[in-house]
Structure 1
Amino acid sequence: MFTVYAISSISRKYVYVGLTSDLEARLHRHNSGYGRTTKPYIPFELIFQKEFSTRSEAREFEKYLKKTNNGKRRFLGLR
């Protein structure tokens, strides 16, 4: 199972969209400062998750969320 997720910085205005097969471990890595992209924005809270049976399906949805403002607005509730 693969999960597309979005996390929001609690302290700053920043949303990160990603893909993982172990959501709990990935969230721990984000909040521990292991990710170079997300480190300046910790701590995070999970705001969205959707599971897929294949990695390719998950990757397509992740790309949709990252590349379109409509995707972010529709699925993540962002303006």
Structure 2
Amino acid sequence: MDDVYYTYVLKSRDYDYFYKGHCKDLQKRLAQHNAGMTKSIKPFIPFDIVYFEEFKTLEEAIKREKYFKSSRGRKFLNKILDA
């Protein structure tokens, strides 16, 4: 089976807070975030996945995550998420 990597955007259910990241297993990573395993976002749990993209390489996923964290990337996400 081919490797698949994801770049994802999470939104806190209780706060106007978004988190962007990348991973190999989307559902497992969401569970880790919601279990409080990412210290910096622990106060904002629980999260839902609101957007993701699939990539063939880790490098592509990381590059897209960096884009999402840029000014242009945030504008793109705001437009598609109606945030």
TM-score, structure 1 as length reference? 0.90
Separation of aligned partners in 1, 2:13 and 2:38: 16
Quick check: which has more Rg, 1 or 2? Answer: 2
Match 2:40 to one of 26, 33, 37 = 37
Task: Let me know the Cα RMSD of the aligned residues.
Answer: 1.4
| Identical residues among aligned pairs (%) | 35
TM-score, structure 2 as length reference? 0.86
Match 2:15 to one of 7, 12, 16 = 12
Separation of aligned partners in 1, 2:40 and 2:10: 12
Runs of 4+ in 1 over 3 A off after TM superposition: none
Amino acid at match of 2:66: K
Unaligned runs of 5+ in 1: none
Give 1:34 deviation, angstroms: 1.1
Give 1:3 deviation, angstroms: 0.1
